[in-house]
Amino acid sequence: MKVSQLFTKTTKNPPAHETARNAQLLIQAGFIHKEMAGVYAFLPLGLKVIEKIKTIVREEMNAVGGQELIMTNLQPREKWEVTTRWNDDVVDVWFKTKLKDETEIGLAWSHEEPIIEMMKPFISSYKDLPVNVYQFQTKLRNELRSKSGIMRGREFLMKDMYTAAIDAEQHDKLYNEIMDAYTRVFARLGLGDDTYVTFASGGSFTKFSHEFQTVCETGEDTIYLHKKKNIAINEEVLDDESLQKLGISRDELEEVKSSEVGNIFNFGTEKSEQMDFTFTNENGEKQFIHLGSYGIGISRVMGVIAEKFADEKGLIWPANIAPATVYLARLSEDSTVVKTTDKLYDDMRKRGIDVLYDDRDVRAGQKFADADLMGIPYRVVVSEKTCQSGQHELKGRTESESQMLDNDGILEYLAPIGS
C-alpha cells in the first residue's frame, strides 16, 4: 500500500463536531468517516484494523468449536413477539420500519430469537448437541445518545455467538470455554491487563450476566474492582447482597470508569420454553435446550484501543492489529533514494511485512507527523544520507531513540512483528 494511492488524507486539526477522542483521532488519521451521530463508515485503513481484530476473534471462536455463519438483519415481528422482546417497553432500542405491503419489520439489534428458529430444523436429538455458532454482523440500535465515537454507536459491528446444549452441565462447559476464549482475545488485543470479568445486570437479555469491562477514563460505565481477588462488579448491581455473595466489603473496592467490550448471557431454558425449542434425550423424552449468548463489540474494541493507547501525537496500535507494521518514509526524489526505497518496499512485501509506503513528494515533517497520527508501530526512513551509509533509520512509534540498520537487518527485525 502506498500513501500516494490512498484516496483519504490526514488533517491537522480534530473535527469540531466530535467530542470523543477516539473519533477525533480516527477521523483525523483518515480511518473513519462520520455519517451522523453514532454512525460511522470505515475507510481503507480503518477497515484493515477491523479485519485484523476480526481475525483474532475468529481464531479464538473457531478454537472452541464455533461455526461461522451470517444471519439476516431484517427481522419479522412474529419471532420476537413470542418472547415479548418486540415490545418497546421490554426492548427500547429497536429500529422498526414497514415493507411496501405494510408488514412491520425490525432491524436486528441481536439475534437470539432468529438463531433459535434457524436451529430448529437441524436439532431434534441429543446426538445433535452441543451446537456453537457465531457471526460478524452490523447491529442497529436506536440509542438515546451516542457521544462516545465508535465506542458507542447506533450502527456498529459485533461478533455474536450462540450455544445450544442438552443440560446445565454441558452448557456450563461451553460457557467457561468461551469465557476463557474471550480472555485470550482481549490479551491478544493488548487489553488483557485492564479488562475484567464483571458481574452485571443482564438488561434486556437475562437477570444477570458477565461483562468484560476494560478500564478506560472515558468509558460510560462505572465498575468496582477488588484487584487482589480479581473481582469486578458493575455499579448497577452493587448492593449488600452481591457483596456478601462475593465475600467482600465495600471499602475494599476501587471505583473506576470502564467500557464494556464483551458480554456473556446464560438463558438456561427460558427462551427454549418460550419458543418450544426441544430435543429428544437418550430415553426418548422431550427436553428443552439450554441456551447461551456471547458478544464482543468489534468496532467498540477498536474505539477503546484508540482511546486508551493514544498520546499527544496520535494513535498507537498494537502491532498485530495496526493497518501496517511499518511506515516506510522516502525523504527524497533523488533517483538513488527512489530506487533504494522501492527495492526495500518490495523486499518487505516479499517477506510478508505489512508496509505503508509514503512515496509522496512532501516535506519530511509531514510524513513523520502522519506516521505518528496513524499509529503505525514502526517507521523506517530512507534518505540521501542513509543511502550513502547503507544503513537506514528504524524507530518504534513509542520509542525515543532510533537505530540504524542495513536492508537485511531491517527485514530481519520487522519480519516477526505483527504476526
Residues 90 and 216 in one domain: yes
pLDDT digits (tens, 9 = 90+) for 322-339: 999 999 999 999 999 999
155 domain-assigned = yes
For residue 399, what are the domain limits? 326-414
pLDDT digits (tens, 9 = 90+) for 228-281: 888 899 988 888 888 888 889 999 999 999 999 999 999 999 999 999 999 999
User: In angstroms, rounded to a whole number, what is the distance separating the alpha carbons of residues 325 and 319?
Assistant: 6
DSSP 305-365: HHHHH-BTTB----TTTSS-SEEEEE----HHHHHHHHHHHHHHHHTT--EEEE--SS-HH
Are the C-beta atoms of residues 340 and 347 closer than 8 Å to each other?
no
Q: Provide the number of structural domains found in the chain.
A: 2
Residues 241 and 343 in one domain: no
Residues 279 and 402 in one domain: no
Residues 292 and 377 in one domain: no
Q: Residue 170 sits in a domain of what CATH number?
A: 3.30.930.10
Residues 220 and 359 in one domain: no
Residues 16 and 103 in one domain: yes
For range 401-412, the mean pLDDT: 95
Residues 360 and 296 in one domain: no
419 domain-assigned = no
pLDDT digits (tens, 9 = 90+) for 10-33: 999 999 889 899 999 999 999 999
Residues 181 and 302 in one domain: yes
Residues 270 and 339 in one domain: no
pLDDT digits (tens, 9 = 90+) for 203-221: 544 556 789 999 999 899 9
133 domain-assigned = yes
Sign (positive or negative) of CA dihedral 413, 309, 200, 229: positive
343 domain-assigned = yes
For 395, other C-beta atoms within 10 Å of its C-beta total: 17
Write a three-state SS string for 316-330.
CCCCCCCCCCEEEEE
DSSP label at 124? -
Residues 49 and 173 in one domain: yes
Return the C-alpha cell found at 192: 488483557
Residues 182 and 275 in one domain: yes
User: In angstroms, rounded to a whole number, what is the distance separating the alpha carbons of residues 241 and 250?
Assistant: 11
Are the C-beta atoms of residues 200 and 295 closer than 8 Å to each other?
no
Residues 10 and 108 in one domain: yes
Q: Residue 403 sits in a domain of what CATH number?
A: 3.40.50.800
